[in-house]
Amino acid sequence: MIRKIAEVRETGELFSSRTLDLAAVMPLAQEILTAVKQRGDAALRAYTEQFDHVTLTNLAVMEDELAAARTKVDENTLSCIEAAAEAIRNFHYRQKRKAWLEEFTEGIYLGEMFMPFDVVGAYVPGSYFSSALMCVIPAKIAGVREIVVCTPPMKDGTVDPHTLVAADLAGATTICKVGGAQAIAALAFGTETVPRVQKIVGPGNVYVTAAKMAAREAGVEIDFPAGPSEVLIIGDETANPAFIAADMLAQAEHGAKSQAVLLTTSHELAVEVERELTAAAPAREAGVAQHWLLVGESLDECFAFANEYAPEHLELVVREPMEALKRIKNAGSVFIGNYAPVAAGDYATGANHVLPTAGYPKLFSGLDVDHFMHRMTLQWLDKDGLARIKEVVVQSCRAEGMEQHAQSVEKRFSADAAH
C-alpha cells in the first residue's frame, strides 16, 4: 500500500512500532546476570545445556578446535573472509585518531593522546563471521590487549567454523562458546574461564540487548542498544525500482520486526517498487519485514522524516546526492547511489555494519575504533607560558573563592621558588 509521508508522520505509527521493548525479557536477563555473577562457569554450563542443548567440556575454544575449524572452511569462503578483513582494516586504520601536541600560546603546549581499552568483549551471534570481523578488527586496530569473543555453541559443542576462523584471523585473544544473556553476564563479571572486560560490543537478540543494558547499569560499558535491523531509502525519479525492491526484500531476511521504508517524491517509483515487491511475494513472505512505501511532496519532506526516523541504514538514490547529504542529520550509515546496496556494506566495503537502530543513531555512532579508546588531554607549560596566563588564572581562582589554587600559581613566581 502506498501512503503519504505526511499521514504516517501524523499518526506516528512508524516510530511507535520501533521502541526497544526490553521489559518483558529483563527479569530473565537479570536473573541470568545474577546467577553467572554468583556461580561463574557452573552457571554458564547450566544455561548452555538449557538454551543451547549441549553439554560442554571446555568453555574456551582450544587450539585443536581452531585447527579443526580451519579444515572445514573452503578456500572460496576463506578468501572472502580475508578480503573483507583487509577492507575493514583499511577503513578502520583511516579512522584511528593520532596523538597531537601544539603550541597554542608561546610556552603553552596542548594536545591529546588516544589510549586503547585494556580488555574488551565482543558478542558474535552464531553463524555471522562478518560480525566477528566487524567487532574484533576495530578493537585490534585501537590496540586493545585482550579481545574476548563469546559466541554460542552448536548442538555438537563446536562453534560455527566460519565464525571461529574469522574471529581468530581478526585478532581475538580468547574465544568462548557461550551465547545469549549468559555470555554478556560472563563478560561483565568474569568467570573462571571468561575474562572480565571493560566494554562489551556487538549485535544480539533481545535477551542479549537486555543483558547489555543491565550490564551497563552494573558498571560495564557497552557500544549501544540495538534492536531489529532497518533500512530507509530516499529515492527520486533517478532511482531504479528493481534495485530498491531487492534491497527491501533483503531487509526482510532480518526477520518480521525489521523495517524497510521507501520515501520518494515520485509516485511512479512507489508504484513500480510495489509491483516488484508483489512479484517477489514468495521471497518476501519468507522474511515478512515491515515494508512501507511513502510518497512526499518534496525531498525536503523526505529528509525531515528520515532525520526524525534516524535509520540504521539510509540509502540515498537521488539526482544530487551531495546536496541531499547536507540535509541528513541522523543515520548509522549512508549508502549513496544506485550501486550501493546495504549488502555491500554488510560484507565487503570495509565500513562497519554494527550500527545503532530504533532511532539511536541520534545519540550513538556505529562501531568504530573510537569505541575502544579513551582520550587524555596534555598540558605542557614552561615558566614563560605560565607567566603569560598567570594573571587570568590567579584572578579567576579568587573570583571562584579558590585561594589555594591562586597561590599554587603565585608560588611558582615567588622569590623562594628554586627552579
Residues annotated as part of the active site: 312-313
235 vs 317: CA distance, rounded Å: 5
Answer for which of 83, 218, 279, 281 binds a copy of itself (CB under 8 A) is: 83
355 vs 226: CA distance, rounded Å: 8
Residue 110 CA: distances (Å) to CA of 101, 218, 244, 383: 5, 35, 49, 15
What's the CA dihedral at 73, 74, 77, 83 to 10 degrees?
90
Q: Which is nearer to a copy of itself, 56 or 113 (CB)?
A: 113
Asked if 37 and 189 touch (Cβ cutoff 8 Å), the reply is: yes
Answer for which of 247, 258, 294, 357 binds a copy of itself (CB under 8 A) is: 247
Element (H, E) at 115: strand 108-116
Count of Cβ atoms closer than 10 Å to residue 62 Cβ: 11
Q: Which is nearer to a copy of itself, 3 or 111 (CB)?
A: 111
| Residue 171 interacting with a copy of itself (CB under 8 A) | no
Answer for which of 41, 146, 221, 274 binds a copy of itself (CB under 8 A) is: 221
Answer for which of 333, 358, 369, 372 binds a copy of itself (CB under 8 A) is: 333
Shortest Å distance, C-beta 156 to a copy of itself: 18
| Residue 364 interacting with a copy of itself (CB under 8 A) | yes
| Residue 366 interacting with a copy of itself (CB under 8 A) | yes
CA-wise closest residue to 177 among 336, 278, 65: 65
Residue 95 CA: distances (Å) to CA of 17, 40, 138, 208, 351: 34, 37, 9, 28, 10
Shortest Å distance, C-beta 41 to a copy of itself: 26
Shortest Å distance, C-beta 216 to a copy of itself: 8
| Residue 112 interacting with a copy of itself (CB under 8 A) | yes
Asked if 270 and 239 touch (Cβ cutoff 8 Å), the reply is: no
Q: Per CB under 8 A, which of residues 339..358 are in contact with a copy of itself? A: 339-352
Answer for which of 30, 174, 240, 266 binds a copy of itself (CB under 8 A) is: 240
Q: Per CB under 8 A, which of residues 267..296 are in contact with a copy of itself? A: 283, 286-287
| Residue 264 interacting with a copy of itself (CB under 8 A) | no
| Residue 338 interacting with a copy of itself (CB under 8 A) | yes
Q: Which is nearer to a copy of itself, 42 or 115 (CB)?
A: 115
| Residue 87 interacting with a copy of itself (CB under 8 A) | yes
Write the DSSP assignment of 128-158 as a string of letters. -HHHHHHHHHHHHHHT-SEEEEE----TTS-
292 vs 285: CA distance, rounded Å: 15
